[in-house]
Amino acid sequence: MSKTATLEFDGKKYEFPVTVGTEDEIGVDIKKLRGEAGIITLDPGFKNTGSCESAITFLDGEKGILRYRGYAIEDLAEKADFLEVAYLLIFGELPNKQQLEKFTNDIKEQSHVDEEMKKILDGFPKSAHPMGVLSSLTSALIAFNPSSVDVSSEDDMYKAIVKILGKFPVLAAWTLRKKNSLPLNYGDEDLGYVENLHKMMFEKPNKTYNVDKAVIDALDKLLILHADHEQNCSTSTVRMVGSSHAGLFASLSAGISALWGPLHGGANQAVIEMLEGIKEDGGDTHKFMQKAKDKEDPFRLMGFGHRVYKNFDPRAKIIKKSADEVLGQLGVEDPVLDIAKGLEKEALEDDYFVKRKLYPNVDFYSGIIYRALGIPVDMFTVMFALGRLPGWIAQWREMRLRKEPIGRPRQIYIGENHRDFKPLGSR
Ligand code: CMC
């Protein structure tokens, strides 16, 4: 028997169907609420609103579970590589050998951008934040690839998807190279996706490129851990923009902007800046804990807390372990790692944090690894975007294939009631 939920308002009862997900999550389908009862639901920040049904990522914030298409994040981070995970997220199954080979080759075919794009990059000052540059360049790609704009057949979607997966690392690498005054280069199709990205970012014109395998493995793992996280701020943005049929690249460009903010992906930059600040201030973690708890003080412990995880963030667990390993393998000693561990220990024992279920999130330790890998601080969120790209694509594709309607929330108006217009002279 299908379940229903009953709402009572103004002495009348209304019944609404209930949707149960494959993990027994329950959603009350209130599509007809306004039509039948003349009322809407109010939920700023969408803290309790399901915007869609999705078969891509499952997370249970209470139990600290994260799965892509049913596979545990722990297994994927350990056993798969980034392109396999990208394929899994986008198309729903892990690829077999032939599928992976085709996917990889199709992406390689597209791993260049129009030379004219260099002129656009050239217009940015060196001081521009890489996230702003990346968002603009992603949007600019539309002009050079008009056939990828509003695609709806699966075949055209596939072409647009491999295009952006091929071109995005070039744009990210160029963003860094411009900052570092290095010539703009292209990748090497003999290399794997992540190594190629690394080479494009760091190759010097006067040196043979060489990289430690530990660096590529760590980067691959970080990208996998960031690859999707269901309906977060940037992903919801991608789905929202895509719902107007604005096209994949425009939707992604908007997603990059959403990710930039310090409460979302920008937290990885904010964390390292905070840890550095604590170090420079003498390393007194207790003082900063007090600041984080003081409601009069705008300071928040960056890298702590999560809208959904109310137990622990499984990605943070993997990254913390990885931070220790990577720094050990590369022989890097970073005093902020000790500060981070000290802060975590204090927070986990502190009443304020325990009561509010605030735990380290994915961004608490990721910056420490990025820094050990030689990635500049203001590129951290770009690394997040590179990882999140397949998730955004998968969510956009799902939204279009399910023919979801345009996203258009309602509101409760709290402004002035009707007023008579006052001419300028009498105001
Ligand atoms: N430091 C101090 N207090 C905090 C923190 C923090 N980092 N996070 C939440 N709180 C407090 C908050 O003040 C509130 O207290 P009270 O109930 O007394 O008013 C309570 O905890 C609930 O916080 P909230 O802001 O209502 O929770 P939210 O779900 O709206 O926000 C969050 C989630 C991630 C934006 C928030 O925890 C935060 O700002 N964290 C720091 C930024 C950060 O690390 N962001 C990265 C998130 S993970 C990467 C990603 O996917 O984006």
Assigned token pair, 198:
């690394």
pLDDT value at 332 more than 90: no
From 163, 92, 315, 300, select the one nearest 171 (Cα to Cα). Answer: 163
Helices marked H in 180-266 — which ranges?
193-202, 213-226, 233-242, 248-260
Residue whose CB lies within 8 A of the most ligand 1 atoms, among 359, 361, 395, for a mutation test: 361
Q: Among residues of the chain, what percentage have pLDDT more than 70? A: 100
Say how far apart CA 183 and CA 253 lie, in whole Å.
25
Report, as an integer, the average pLDDT of 385-410. 97
| The model's pTM | 0.93
* Pair 395, 54: CB distance under 8 Å: yes
CA 342 – CA 289 distance, rounded (Å): 11
How confident is the model at residue 334, as a pLDDT? 84
270 or 256, greater pLDDT: 256
**CA dihedral sign, ordered 357, 358, 360, 361:** positive
Residue 260 has pLDDT above 60, yes or no: yes
Mean pLDDT of the chain, nearest integer: 94
- The residue contributing the CA closest to ligand 1 atom 29 is 307
Average pLDDT on 378-398 reads 97
Please report where in the chains the tokens 């395998």 appear, as a residue. 213
- For the question of residue 112 being annotated catalytic, the response is no
pLDDT in tens, 56-112: 999 999 999 999 999 999 999 999 999 999 999 999 999 999 999 999 999 999 999
- The residue to mutate among 304, 315, 363, 395, having the most atoms of ligand 1 within 8 angstroms of its beta carbon, is 304
What is the whole-number distance in angstroms between the Cα of residue 279 and the centre of ligand 1? 23
C-alpha 61 to ligand 1 mean position (Å): 14
Residue 390 scores a pLDDT above 80? yes
Q: What is the pLDDT of residue 408?
A: 96
Catalytic residue among 264, 306, 350, 378: 306
Round to the nearest angstrom and report the end-to-end CA distance of the chain.
63
As a whole number, mean pLDDT of residues 176-184 equals: 94
**Which pLDDT does position 1 carry in this prediction?**
55
The predicted pLDDT at position 265 comes to 93
Atom of ligand 1 nearest to the CA of 292: 2
Higher-scoring residue by pLDDT: 303, 99: 99
Mean pLDDT of 124-144: 96
- How far apart are the CA of 228 and the centre of ligand 1, in A? 20
Who lines ligand 1 at CB under 6 A?
229, 232, 263-265, 267, 292, 300-307, 356, 358, 361-363
- Please give the distance, rounded to the nearest whole angstrom, from the Cα atom of residue 304 to the centre of ligand 1: 7
Instruction: Read off the pLDDT band of 407 (50, 70, 90).
Output: very high
Which residue is catalytic, options 81, 313, 363, 378? 363
- Choose the residue to mutate in 57, 307, 312, 317 for probing ligand 1, maximizing ligand atoms within 8 Å of C-beta: 307
Residue 388 CA, ligand 1 centroid: distance in Å:
21
Nearest residue CA, atom 9 of ligand 1? 305
For residue 323, name the pLDDT band (cuts at 50, 70, 90).
Answer: confident
Q: How confident is the model at residue 322 (pLDDT cuts 50, 70, 90)?
A: confident
Reply yes or no on whether the pLDDT at 337 is more than 90: no
DSSP string, 12-28: EEEEEEEEE-TT--EEE
Distance in Å, CA 351 to ligand 1 centroid: 15
Residues 6 or more apart whose Cβ sits within 8 Å of residue 229: 57, 59, 66, 235, 388, 391
Which residue's CA is the nearest one to ligand 1's atom 37? Answer: 305
| Ligand 1 nearest-atom number relative to CA 307 | 29
Ligand 1 atom 36 nearest Cα: 305
- State yes or no: is 129 an active-site residue: no
Question: Measured in angstroms, how far is the CA atom of residue 269 from the centroid of ligand 1?
Answer: 16
- Calculate the alpha carbon distances from 281 to 4, 276, 287, 376 in Å: 57, 8, 10, 22
Which atom in ligand 1 lies closest to the alpha carbon of residue 259?
52
